[in-house]
Amino acid sequence: MHLKTERDLMSREGARRFRLTGHHETPARIAGVLLFSGLLAASCAPVATSEGADQDAAAGASGRTATGGAGGNAQLGGAGGGGSTGTAGRTATGGSANTGGSAKTGGASGNGGQTASGGSTGTGGSTGTAGSSGNAGSGGKAGATGAGGSGSGGTTGTACGGGGGCDGSSSTPDASSDAPVDASLVCIGPAVSEDPSLRHPGPRPDANSSMCGNVNWVVTDGVCCAEYCSNDDRSERCDLCGGTGSAQCTVVSSKACTSGQWPEVHCVSDNEPWHYSRSTHFGLTYGGACAFGLYGLCTKAYTFTDSQLGGLCATFCNTYPDLCQDPATTTLRGNFAAPDGDYYTQFWPDLPGDNDNYLSCGECFQLVRTKKDGTDYQSGETGYTPPITLQIVDSCPCAANPKWCCGSGRDHCGEVSDFKYGCPLPPAPPVPPLDHDPLPNESLHLDLSDIAMSRLQTGDANGLMVDGVIPTRYRRAPCPVTGNIYILLKNGGEYYFAFSVVNVSGLGSLVNVEARLPSGDWVSLIRDPNYEPYRPQERFGTWVLPQGKGPFTLPLALRFTDPSGRSVVSEQAITSWTPPATTDATLKQFYQDFYYINTGVQF
């Protein structure tokens, strides 16, 4: 049992293995344009290289191993418009007299306070309705009613319905970058995709077990997966029960090791349902698969015992104070997590690409420590700690972590049998079949940073962790980040550039990033295509320019689209491919790996 130290995880040599390179911010806030697009744009995915600590509950470690390689790419789509006035939604009514979405409910007039014109004269289709009734989602508080148009606008709609959607928003389509950030979202389409005619993932290329890079992994249905002993619910391999192919050696279902087919989430409210789970922790690293760098790790609330890492975070927080600042009502910075690999990498039928076309990077969750029986500690009771908010920055692949990260009914975490919701995870009983696709009510395992785990166990980022695994409950939450969207520029030039996108409010994740050519045309970036398709849960989160595009000129405009279909444009996102000149030797060295740029815009 070995728990890697900060120095083990954070060495500069280790950081280079994760291919991290520089970034910076421009001090001026650049005026941005808030756009609302119609149908969802597109997304693809990248490579992951991540090496974690041994996964052992007694030692408190649950790290992961993940390596990158070569692979194909998936092309991204455009950010379609919702109508002549830019009405907002995957299903919003638009056009002069037609529906501008995909004929689902949830038109633009359900934007809770926004005037949602259905066309140049304000008519929303032939009857002026916003979708079928203007209902943008189910559940939750309804926002303010929106007008059906400035002309013959038809019926008014509610923002999210009366039973579980999102609060209304008063933001307007041309909101400036100086507008206050509001974590509440307006549902522009159905909160969760329920289309019965969903596309299915494409077949995987042929692979064999020798390609997996680990003698304890085998290829099943084109993906590398784990195996363990069926007679030992704590085992993580088969060498103690006769080895691969023996009667008691069980190969984990490929459904746990591929891209998960979770319901597409297009809206997140501040009142999402809770899920019961348990959490481990895996140290402190800036090498997560999302390629966020120091973002998500650094916080002024934590005293780093590794002086090198502490120095990097001190420079980061001084240079980018917004990215180290917690929101007013919760802790966030330093709280990061890696979910099950089939949640980190997903397949969304609505997005282009046959496999691995959505990454959960940047999504936020609220997390509470519970008692072993699943009940809550009360404020003032011994054991009580405040809830925390965390962001997804990494993946916990099933192949490398069969004990915790393979999904309900497939985990081998027998050491937490005294947790009511520990092993297997809900839904259970009855346990779902081993070859099941992700279920809407299925719980995730969230592998936490040491900072997040310390806060949950002690209420203090610097507190002493006693337990390696704790019972929790969690729910998805709007990301309450402070400041604007930033990019972490890896490298750049007129024909090629690559960067990660961090600090996205609201839904937290992105489905499309586009760059504007001098002609005015937009080019969709793709997720880094250099990964092994038989290890999809390790895709790297960087956005890169496809081959053959360009040249681009500076300043470079970027357009960001989140899963709701909303887009924001930063007209001068990148004004230089190199960090600003400085005589500060420490900062100059820092910029070589961590050059973040403030885009000046936010959702």
Q: Helical H runs in 386-489?
A: 450-458
Flag the least confident range among 18-27, 280-289, 475-484. Answer: 18-27
Q: What's the maximum distance between 2 C-alpha atoms anywhere in the chain?
A: 75
Is residue 93 a contact partner of residue 100, using CB atoms and an 8 Å limit? yes
Is residue 68 a contact partner of residue 288, using CB atoms and an 8 Å limit? no
Flag the least confident range among 133-147, 226-240, 556-570. Answer: 133-147
Flag the least confident range among 135-139, 194-198, 469-473. Answer: 135-139
Spatial CA neighbour of 258 closest among 60, 69, 435: 435
Residue bearing the bigger pLDDT, 411 or 365: 365
The sign of the dihedral angle between the CA atoms of 266, 268, 272, 273 is positive
Q: 86-97 burial, b if ≥16 CB within 10 A, otherwise e? A: bbbbbbbbbbeb
Here the tokens at position 151 are: 């002309």
- Most confident by average pLDDT, 24-38, 106-120, 418-432, 570-584: 570-584
Is residue 161 a contact partner of residue 142, using CB atoms and an 8 Å limit? yes
Residue 27 predicted with pLDDT over 50 = no
Cα distances from 332 to residues 317, 364, 554, in angstroms, run: 14, 9, 34
- pLDDT at residue 598, rounded to an integer: 98
Which residues have a Cβ under 8 Å from the Cβ of 398 and sit 6 or more positions away? 225, 226, 252, 256, 257, 340, 341, 342, 405, 406, 407, 410, 537
Using CA atoms, how far apart are residues 266 and 194, in angstroms rounded to an integer? 11
Q: What is the pLDDT of residues 478-515, one digit of tens each?
A: 999 999 999 999 989 999 999 999 999 999 999 999 99
Q: What is the pLDDT of residues 180-190, one digit of tens each?
A: 334 444 555 55
Is residue 229 a contact partner of residue 238, using CB atoms and an 8 Å limit? yes
The sign of the dihedral angle between the CA atoms of 167, 172, 174, 180 is negative
Q: What is the pLDDT of residues 58-98, one digit of tens each?
A: 334 444 444 433 333 333 333 333 333 333 333 333 333 33
Kindly report the average pLDDT of the chain as a whole number.
76
% of residues, the chain, pLDDT over 70: 67
Q: What is the pLDDT of residues 393-447, one digit of tens each?
A: 999 999 999 999 999 889 899 889 899 998 888 987 777 888 888 988 899 999 9
Residue 379 has φ and ψ, to the nearest 5°, of: -55, 130
Q: Helical H runs in 197-328?
A: 307-319
User: What is the pairing mode between strands 566-574 and 556-561?
Assistant: antiparallel
Q: Position of tokens 């304890």?
A: 216
Here the tokens at position 110 are: 């359900």
Spatial CA neighbour of 446 closest among 507, 394, 377: 394
Spatial CA neighbour of 406 closest among 67, 55, 18, 46: 55
Contacts for 439-444 with beta carbons within 8 Å, 24 or more apart? 439/408, 440/192, 440/262, 440/263, 441/275, 442/407, 442/408, 443/275, 443/276, 443/277, 443/408, 444/275, 444/277, 444/339, 444/340, 444/343, 444/474
Is residue 562 a contact partner of residue 88, using CB atoms and an 8 Å limit? no
Measured CA angle at 443 (ends 442, 447), to 5 deg: 145
DSSP string, 513-531: EEEE-TTS-EEE-EE---S
- pLDDT at residue 592, rounded to an integer: 93
% of residues, the chain, pLDDT over 90: 60
Is residue 537 a contact partner of residue 66, using CB atoms and an 8 Å limit? yes
Using CA atoms, how far apart are residues 80 and 87, in angstroms rounded to an integer? 11
Using CA atoms, how far apart are residues 225 and 217, in angstroms rounded to an integer? 5
Residue 589 has φ and ψ, to the nearest 5°, of: -65, -40
Residue 109 predicted with pLDDT over 60 = no
- pLDDT at residue 190, rounded to an integer: 57
Q: 223-238 burial, b if ≥16 CB within 10 A, otherwise e? A: bbbbbbbeeebbbbbb
